[in-house]
Amino acid sequence: MSYTREVFQRLQSLSLKLLSNPPPPAGAYFGFRLHAGFGFLAAQTSGYDGRFTGAVGNEISLEQGKLAAQTAALDALSRIHQALSGFDRRVGLPHVAGHVASAPDFFEQPEVLNGASRLFNFVLGERGRHSRTAYAAPQLPKRITIELEITFAYRR
């Protein structure tokens, strides 16, 4: 069985599907770049469809924040799938940086980003294990809740 097929089966077990057409970039840049065995995704967000907007700890609860992070991770998986025409060439997910729009007295950004990390770890298995950085932001573009920066490794 191919690795791509395994990923799709794991997504299906969570009742999730990849986007067939990930949202286009919001500006004059590319959705991804591949270079020397590494892929770099443009920011993956939770806000393209307007479901998750505002700051966690204010307009958004911790649980909603985790779901927003999972949504951004699903978008990232869709973009990686697009970049590599599947997952069989993807060999790792070295680093994820997450920006969480946060109320001034909210300090659980790592817990919010676990929504993304748990999805990557489950769906991608060992290849989904990654290092991570969590940032608090008073606001993010277009009032989105989560913005992920993803670096992935692939076989050329």
**Each residue's pLDDT tens digit, 15-40:** 999 988 888 888 899 999 999 999 99
So what's the pLDDT on residue 90?
78
So what's the pLDDT on residue 21?
85
Summarize pLDDT for 99-136 with one digit per residue, the tens: 999 999 999 999 999 999 999 999 999 999 999 999 99
Contacting residues for 35 by C-beta, under 8 A, at least 6 apart? none
Residue 105 and residue 94 in contact, taking contact as beta carbons nearer than 8 Å: no
Residue 120 and residue 96 in contact, taking contact as beta carbons nearer than 8 Å: yes
Summarize pLDDT for 57-99 with one digit per residue, the tens: 999 999 999 999 999 999 999 999 999 999 999 779 999 999 9
For the chain, list the domains and their CATH numbers.
3-20+32-154 (3.30.1330.40)
Residue 60 and residue 68 in contact, taking contact as beta carbons nearer than 8 Å: yes
**What pTM, to 2 d.p., does this model score?**
0.95
Q: Is the pLDDT of residue 50 over 80?
A: no
CA dihedral 16, 115, 60, 102 (to 10 degrees): -140
Q: Is the pLDDT of residue 49 over 80?
A: no
So what's the pLDDT on residue 91?
78
Q: Is the pLDDT of residue 48 over 80?
A: no
Nearest to 7 by CA among 92, 122, 95, 138: 122
So what's the pLDDT on residue 64?
97
Which residues are paired to 134 by β-bridges? 98
Q: Greater confidence, 112 or 142?
A: 112
Cα separations in angstroms, 28 against 6, 31, 59, 104? 34, 10, 30, 32
Residue 59 and residue 47 in contact, taking contact as beta carbons nearer than 8 Å: no
